[in-house]
Chain A
Amino acid sequence: QKEVEQDPGPLSVPEGAIVSLNCTYSNSAFQYFMWYRQYSRKGPELLMYTYSSGNKEDGRFTAQVDKSSKYISLFIRDSQPSDSATYLCAMSPLNSGGSNYKLTFGKGTLLTVNP
Chain B
Amino acid sequence: NAGVMQNPRHLVRRRGQEARLRCSPMKGHSHVYWYRQLPEEGLKFMVYLQKENIIDESGMPKERFSAEFPKEGPSILRIQQVVRGDSAAYFCASSPDASGPGYTFGSGTRLTVV
Residues on A close to B: CB < 8 A?
A: 4, 6, 32, 34, 36, 41-46, 49, 51, 88, 90, 92, 97-108
Contacts and interface: CB of A to CB of B under 8 A. Distances in A.
Chain B interface extent, by class: 20 to 34
B42 A100 contact: no
14 contacts: A32-B100, A34-B102, A41-B110, A43-B91, A44-B105, A49-B101, A90-B102, A97-B98, A100-B98, A101-B95, A101-B98, A102-B58, A103-B43, A103-B103
Contacts of B30: none
Contact of A43 (B58, B102, B106): B106
A51 B93 CA distance: 20
Interface in B47-82: 48, 56, 58
A105 B100 contact: no
Contacts of A90: 43, 102
A101 B33 contact: yes
Interface in B1-44: 4, 6, 31, 33, 35, 40-44
Nearest to B103: A46
